[in-house]
Amino acid sequence: MPGHDKKASMPDKSNRQNPGERIAKVMARAGLASRREAEAWIAAGRVAVNDAVINSPALNVTASDRIAIDGQPLPRRERTRLFRYHKPRGLVTTHSDPEGRPTIFAALPKDLPRLISVGRLDINTEGLLLLTNDGGLARVLELPATAWLRRYRVRAKGRVMQPALDNLRAGITVAGVHYGPIEATLDREQGANVWLTIGIREGKNREVRKVLETLDLQVNRLIRVAFGPFELGDLDDGEVKEIESQALGTELGEKIVAEAGADFDAPLIDHDARAVPSRHSGARPQDREPGIQRHDSPPPLDSGAPLRGSRNDKKKQPRRDRTGGPRPKYPRQK
């Protein structure tokens, strides 16, 4: 790295008494990268603390430490923000896909800050996905201990009776993987399909699909309609809307806010004014053309209005199910 020719020492024992925070966590909260990406940048020698290049994330830093990425000072922390996004089918929840499939982040409006997803939805699952600029918040909301209820509307081919669904409340083991209690309600039958409402708290990989296969049900549509206190509501496919900061702290609760270290008092950042390293770990700030997107100034926080480029700009039409029938109503979480 230009301008840095010494390595930082990494004392293990003394670091345990350091009152600061792990450097990858601080970088994630600045909105530059996820903690995993920050650790990769550190391993690649892109990060310096107090003018010394570091090569391990096992370092605590405080507000008095000078942090730089590729020679550029770490931007000041941005206000914690959370967005509701209606993920369409056919998009993968990643920044880049080795198979070249379209991603949610390429489809998002360009006037957003750098965002990461709270968990994932697979390519064939649609509905509510939470996005945030705060890596610490994303991590806490993903933790099994947080145990927020994820609620889905499910269309599946086959027949099932409510007593069989009630048995899922005791949990079930499928192919050696144990799934915790599952709330399942039979809503209605539609031709060869049934519509169900499913509530889970773990969100393991393809959990709903795998569990329903044990009941001879083949899921052909899966829509997440709620994640904890946040609901999909009337968001159109591809639409994204910010949750007002005043309501956000209340909805998250004091415990989650404290564990995540969320900051609702920090300023908004003008993303055109700061040099942000590329999302691709090998790129540098000066390599802007291939790797870095420019953002317009963010819309006023707490406006409650959909962001520019959202589907809400178009005249709304009655939404219909792909089978040709009326689109099912999303039940509100109780």
The reply to whether 6 falls in a domain is: no
This prediction's pTM: 0.69
The reply to whether 122 falls in a domain is: no
Q: Work out the pLDDT band at 10, boundaries 50, 70, 90.
A: very low
The reply to whether 278 falls in a domain is: no
pLDDT given at position 108: 94
- Residue 259 reports pLDDT greater than 60: yes
Count of C-beta atoms within a 10 Å radius of residue 215: 18
pLDDT given at position 141: 93
Rg of the chain over Cα atoms, rounded to whole angstroms, equals 22
Whose CA is closest to 281, among 68, 36, 6, 91? 36
Whose CA is closest to 127, among 93, 167, 176? 93
Average pLDDT rounded to a whole number, residues 5-24: 57
DSSP bridge partners of 128: 86
Pairwise CA distance, residues 131 & 142, whole Å: 12
pLDDT given at position 293: 29
The reply to whether 59 falls in a domain is: yes
pLDDT given at position 288: 30
pLDDT given at position 163: 97
- Residue 150 reports pLDDT greater than 60: yes
pLDDT given at position 286: 35
Cβ neighbours of residue 20 under 8 Å, at least 6 residues apart? Answer: 26, 60, 61, 62, 63, 65
Average pLDDT rounded to a whole number, residues 38-56: 93
Q: CATH no. for residue 49?
A: 3.10.290.10
Q: Work out the pLDDT band at 222, boundaries 50, 70, 90.
A: very high
Rounded to the nearest 10°, the torsion over CA 280, 284, 288, 291 is: -10
Pairwise CA distance, residues 5 & 84, whole Å: 44
DSSP string of 144-192, one letter each residue: GGG-PPEEEEEEEES---HHHHHGGGG-EEETTEEE---EEEEEEEETT
Q: Which residues are catalytic?
A: 122
DSSP bridge partners of 34: none
pLDDT in tens, 61-93: 988 899 999 999 987 778 899 999 999 999 999
Tell me how many domains the chain contains: 1
- Residue 304 reports pLDDT greater than 50: no
pLDDT in tens, 157-204: 999 999 999 999 999 999 999 999 999 999 999 999 999 999 999 888
Average pLDDT rounded to a whole number, residues 208-230: 97
- Residue 326 reports pLDDT greater than 80: no
Whose CA is closest to 224, among 326, 122, 113, 323? 122
Helices (H), 253-301: 254-260, 288-291
The reply to whether 40 falls in a domain is: yes
Pairwise CA distance, residues 114 & 134, whole Å: 9
The reply to whether 253 falls in a domain is: no
The reply to whether 21 falls in a domain is: yes
Query: Residue 24 is part of which domain span?
Result: 12-73
Count of C-beta atoms within a 10 Å radius of residue 282: 11
The reply to whether 285 falls in a domain is: no
pLDDT given at position 307: 40
**Regarding predicted confidence, which is higher, 59 or 294?**
59
